[in-house]
Amino acid sequence: MAEPAFLFVCLGNICRSPLAEAAFRAAAAAAGISVIADSAGTGGWHAGEKPDRRSIAVAAQHGIDISGLRARQVERGDFDRFDHILALDPQNLADLRRIAPANGRARLRLLLDAVPGWQGRAVDDPYYGGPEGFARTWDEVRAAADRLVEELVQTR
């Protein structure tokens, strides 16, 4: 069986989606599951940049180095390359649905739909706030990552 492939998508790919990718990779590794994970933004203005320094700092607090990640924009090929594309908020989900090719194989959904009771919620965008917002974002994406890994374990 091929490794399941997940793409995490926010607006600029420097705050929320790199943290979601990192949290998912960590949760999968802890469960001993091999996965493919990446992140991207619906906008391309940060392409090639490192994650926001505050995202790098909160990931480091959890023992994860994301400083090597680089922002990129979602591409049409992503809809065939990934099994799951997880938007971090409803607006990005709407944008993904608008640009998705009709024959794309990826399942599109909100990331927090994976967490019971959080369906339809957006992951808080911490960009304009302080470190506490990045800590809250980490908690949200980690809860979703843990649930996604539980789903993978249950379907094995």
CA 114-118-119 angle, 5° bins: 65
Catalytic residue among 83, 113, 125, 139: 125
| Domains of the chain by start residue, with CATH | 5-149 (3.40.50.2300)
Residue 53 known to be catalytic: no
Cα(5)–Cα(38) distance, rounded to whole angstroms?
Answer: 8
pLDDT tens-digit profile, the chain (156 residues): 589 999 999 999 999 999 999 999 999 999 999 999 999 999 999 999 999 999 999 999 999 999 999 999 999 999 999 999 999 999 999 999 999 999 999 999 999 999 999 999 999 999 999 999 999 999 999 999 999 999 999 987
Catalytic residue among 15, 16, 124, 142: 16
Q: Report if pTM > 0.75.
A: yes
Residue 16 known to be catalytic: yes
Residue 15 known to be catalytic: no
Catalytic residue among 10, 38, 78, 124: 10
Nearest to 65 by CA among 75, 73, 74, 56: 56
Quickly list H helices, the chain. 16-31, 53-61, 78-81, 90-99, 131-154
